[in-house]
Structure 1
């Protein structure tokens, strides 16, 4: 039996647009072509250091709120930062952000924290301004698939 890898998706999904993005990310991460990867989904306010330590890679989803990541995602990082600091060095992560007008501050905030954790960015952060149209949802699906596929056992 092959060992399973775990992709932890931590999200704050307060709006229909964030819900559409999360569903697309999940569809990609759970694609039938990806084998040997368990996808675990946690709302940011429920995710714990135990979840982070048990995972091999991460996908983070947040709205851009008042120029920053959501308070829920910040709370997640506050809870897991020191307990996970040494144990998760080098683990891959991806990020998707939705904003009505700008996502720069939210991306910068998450990247500052993930740099401190020494996580490895899998790809450019996926940012969506306004509605999550078909192109945006397809990009979310691709992000989910890329993150999960990167964890497939050899």
Structure 2
């Protein structure tokens, strides 16, 4: 099997959101995979070339005023058209650190992903309300599942 790349694009402006991102990355990197590269970038550093080189993407964002972070929106603004025809069917998943309910954020990201014709491989994880340590465990599970699935050729 050829080498595959899992791209993680996560906005992590606080200590807790960095813990979420780090859990995803550590779990993905920690999987016993032979042919997988894990690349983690903040949205303002990630761009279309990173997406074009990936075989799957994990997106992470905060909920900002009922919408995705401005940094993730900027990533999509710069990547949408260069990736539109080239990444159809790209497996992706999403996690949201939501202070409220995450609905607007989920809808916004899913709308863009639908336009790109990316394929969600699981429902978004929406971490609502007050901080819970279980959020980190869920992110760890997400990173491991995506890495294992990509390495095994499931996606």
- Provide the C-alpha distance between the structure 1 equivalents of 2:129 and 2:14, rounded to a whole number of angstroms: 12
Number of the residue aligned with 2:77: 78
> Partner of 2:121 in structure 1?
122
Shift of 1:85: 0.3
SS at match of 2:59: strand
Aligned equivalents of 1:124 and 1:8: distance in 2? 18
Matches within 5 A, 1:1-154: 2-154=1-153
Change in CA separation of 1:97 and 1:21 when aligned onto 2, cut-off 3 Å: same
In structure 1, C-alpha distance between the alignment counterparts of 2:76 and 2:104, rounded to whole Å: 16
Cα displacement (A) at 1:108: 0.6
85-94 or 10-19, which moves further after superposition?
10-19
Question: How far is the alpha carbon of 1:102 from its aligned partner?
Answer: 2.0
How much does 1:34 deviate? 3.1
Structure 2: gaps spanning 5 or more residues: none
Displacement of 1:132? 4.2
Name which of structure 1's ranges 78-87 and 21-30 shifts more when overlaid on structure 2: 21-30
Instruction: Report the CA distance between 1:131 and its aligned residue.
Output: 4.4
TM-score w.r.t. length of structure 2? 0.93
Structure 1 outlier segments of 4+, above 6 Å = none
Question: CA separation in 2, counterparts of 1:131 and 1:16?
Answer: 14
CA contact (8 A) 2:31 2:144 kept: no
Instruction: Give the unaligned 5+ runs of structure 1.
Output: none
CA RMSD of aligned residues (A): 1.3
Report the Cα distance in structure 1 between the residues aligned to 2:21 and 2:76, rounded to whole angstroms.
Answer: 19
